[in-house]
Chains A and B, each alone.
Chain A
Amino acid sequence: MASVKEQYDALDRVIAENKDLPGALMPVLQGAQEIFGCVPIDVQKYIAQALNVTLSEVYGVATFYSQFSLQPKGEYLISVCLGTACYVKGSQKVLDKLTEVLNVPVGGTTPDGRFTLQATRCLGACGLAPVMTVNDEVYGRLTPDAIPAIIDKYRKAEEA
């Protein structure tokens, strides 16, 4: 885990790379999201000052795009596709099962900080519907019954 100073140094580098480009706010926010895992208020104030834009603008962009998160996300980000194809193939039931197994609402993070559950638009893997991703791993043709085993795998990976 990088220290706070290292994180801000990394952010400074992203800012320096983009500062003079039009539309610098997006890449800087993307960088911040990657570095900090989220874009909390202090980071947003820092970006606003560095790019000479208002905090309103930073916050507006950060809350418009779902890729940005205001609170830290869990170690494993579980994204369940609710796009049309997945939805008609029953992804809502998969999502419901996940809220039950993880005991968090959609958009929430487990108290131990391991899992964040979110619903997404089409992930572009309609042929595998219903689909979910856990970080960069893709799971297709899911049924609610398959969920506990998948979650268990990540829980155990952590313990090992």
Chain B
Amino acid sequence: MSERMISLTIDNVKVEVPAGTTVLEAAKQAGINIPTLCYLKDINAIGACRMCVVDTGGRALQAACVLPATDGMVVKTNTPALRDYRRTLLELVLSAHDKKCLTCVRSQSCELQKLCKDLGVENGDRFAGKQNEYAIDDASPSIVRDNNKCILCRRCVAVCSKVQNIGVIGPVNRGFATAIESPWNMKLAQMGCINCGQCINVCPVGALREKDSTDQVWQYLNDPDLHVVVQPAPAVRAALGEEFGYPMGTSVTGQMAAALHRLGFDKVFDTDFGADLTIMEEANELIARIQGGGVLPMITSCSPGWIKFCETYYPDFLDNLSSCKSPHEMLGAVIKSYYAEKAGIDPAKIRVVSVMPCTAKKFEAKREELAATGYPDVDAVITTRELARMIKEAGIDFRALPEENFDSLLGESTGAAVIFGATGGVMEAALRTAYEAITGQVLENVDFRDVRGIQGIKEADVKIGDQVVSVAVASGTGNASKLLDSVRSGEKKYLFIEVMGCPGGCVNGGGQPIVSAQTRMTCDPRVERAKALYQEDADKPLRKSHENSEIKKIYEEYLEKPNSHKAHELLHTHYASRPLYLD
């Protein structure tokens, strides 16, 4: 079916676009970047900031982000009046902004800063006057909110309520007193915030950021009595390069391992090993549930944002959650037991640092029940962004680094593990192992393409032996809500469900490098970064978790078999329902 095309003229450039396209999108197609601030593709188009105003010859200037292109329309985006208008808008925004760019974590990735530079704002104090002073909310283990930098664009509000179906922040009060806050002066940590950090990723300025843990990691590294072990998650290698000027979707696995060695970690293990271990446990748990009449559908448990979402908003599904810890927690538990014994190191002296694409992992690591050896499985979590800052702070020339390998014992991994970072990846990895465990036959084609891609909800019927296994995959907790509602009502029946808390999975996690709204108009980080992971999977000699030789070894020497008593002690956990608000 062909869409009706319309033609318009923007800055003397003729453009043909499908009906329904906005002037903003049409201009992009004509190679014209209309400045935006509150606009976020597919998520927030409210015409509120007025930065994208254009001249259509009518009486008033129009916001291009909400203006449908019409046939024969003549649009001007760059007139002296428009440039002046936008500069004045920016000066007004600055009148309520703290302007502490030099010490802001978002310096050089700030959309406000960039606009001021690009549009030639010369006086940040033109409308100097009264300014609101806000207390910084840093009570959450994952997210810090600083309203002194907030420009009220509402992108965070939109992603929290519309995409994630949570809505723990919103505009309060009116006029000059308007602020984006949790209701009743509550802090984020008192709300049913799942710590996913999607709000951070979409913030154009530095009003939202991760709770920084780099100081803690530097302290570990500088303590000669400690044995400091690091493990990066699958999705980190697909995005870290962006912080060093590589194009989106560049895999930097080898250089990342080298950088971690140079930072001074005693061992550089790989969360991918933890992912393979997770599959061993989870695939066998699934088989046991199917064959033994356990609670179905079983739902994956790797994503801590999703887990807190389930505990808070869907507690009736807690028994459906796999009891498996997430991969980095599994690896942490194994480092402080198996590895500690083999290397002859007192687990009390070991510190496990996880590098994660995720802010919710910071909350997860603090869960008291995740301490299999009596010590926390994981001691500190830093995000991809924080690792990039540490590398820069240490003066490591990332682009000049050679490619290095992860360290042995807990560093080997298969293709099944690396795709954990993308939506559908855990499902596909589990199916590869479950298929062979159930049928006893070799799975020739390991690609389960039905569960790949960025659609919010995916379904597939997978034939395993003489059984058809119905599976579903959801990413983003808004999509998870829809999927769980359909299961709860009995409309849908599945045996196995994968949920990742962030849209597109961990590649688009709340700890990943910031992608500006302008870049998102033409380039989807969920797609580009996932490509890097699937390429790495395809290039691996081994693509099924149970073929990993270090995995075989740890079961032979230590864990006996999947879901053994020992495995349960170290690698499994439990969940509890949580209140919507804490006093």
Residues of A that sit less than 8 Å from B by CB: 41, 44-45, 54-60, 63-66
Contact with A along B151-188 (1 / 0, CB 8 A): 00000010001000011111111100000001110000
- Given contacts A44-B183, A54-B161, are A59 and B170 in contact (CB under 8 A)? yes
> Chain A's nearest CB lies how many Å from the CB of B168?
6
Mostly, the B contact residues are loop
CB neighbours (8 Å) of A60 from chain B are 170-172, 183
In the complex, B246 has a CB within 8 A of chain A = no
Q: Would you call A54 and B171 a contact (CB within 8 A)?
A: no
B90 to nearest A CB, angstroms? 26
Q: Is the CB of B581 within 8 A of A63?
A: no
Q: A63: which B residues are within 8 A, CB to CB?
A: 172-174
Question: How many Å from the CB of A145 to the closest CB on chain B?
Answer: 33
Q: What is the number of contacts between chain A and chain B, taking CB atoms within 8 Å?
A: 42
A-B contact pairs, 30 of them (CB 8 A): A41-B184, A44-B183, A44-B184, A45-B581, A54-B161, A54-B167, A54-B168, A55-B184, A55-B580, A55-B581, A56-B157, A56-B161, A56-B167, A56-B170, A56-B183, A57-B161, A57-B167, A58-B183, A59-B170, A59-B172, A59-B184, A60-B171, A60-B183, A63-B173, A63-B174, A64-B172, A64-B173, A64-B174, A65-B174, A66-B174
- Given known A-B contacts A41-B184, A59-B183, A54 and B174 have beta carbons under 8 A apart: no
C-alpha gap A55/B161 in the complex (Å): 11
Closest chain-A Cβ to B565's Cβ sits at a distance in Å of 43
Given contacts A54-B170, A66-B174, 14 further A-B contacts (CB under 8 A): A45-B581, A54-B166, A54-B167, A54-B168, A56-B157, A56-B167, A56-B182, A56-B183, A57-B167, A59-B170, A60-B170, A60-B172, A63-B172, A64-B172
User: Considering the chains assembled together, what is the distance between the CA atoms of A56 and B188 in angstroms?
Assistant: 12
Point out which of B173, B183, B580 has the most chain A C-beta atoms below 10 A from its C-beta: B183
Q: Chain A's nearest CB lies how many Å from the CB of B295?
A: 27
Shortest Cβ distance from A32 into chain B, in angstroms?
Answer: 15
Tell me how far the C-beta of B67 lies from the nearest C-beta in chain A, rounded to whole angstroms. 25
Bound: A23/B37 CA distance, A: 28
Measured CA separation A60–B180 after assembly (Å): 9
Q: Are B174 and A55 in contact (CB-based, < 8 A)?
A: no
0 or 1 for each of B563-583: is its CB under 8 Å from A? (1 = yes):
000000000000000001100
B173 & A56 in contact (Cβ 8 Å cutoff)? no
Minimum CB–CB distance from B161 to chain A (whole Å) comes to 7
Question: Contacts A41-B184, A44-B183 known; A56 to B174 CB distance under 8 Å?
Answer: no
Q: Report the bound CA distance from A55 to B167 in whole Å.
A: 8
A59 to B168, CA, bound (A): 11
Q: In the assembly, what is the distance between CA of A148 and CA of B72, in Å?
A: 67
Q: Could you tell me the distance in whole angstroms from the C-beta of B580 to the nearest C-beta in chain A?
A: 8
Chain B residues with CB below 8 A from A41, complex form: 184
A88 to B459, CA, bound (A): 68
Residues of A within 8 A of B157 (CB): 56
Chain B residues in 8 Å Cβ range of A66: 174
Q: Which residues of B contact A54 (CB under 8 A)?
A: 161, 166-168, 170
- Which residues of the other chain, A, contact B581 by a CB distance below 8 angstroms? 45, 55
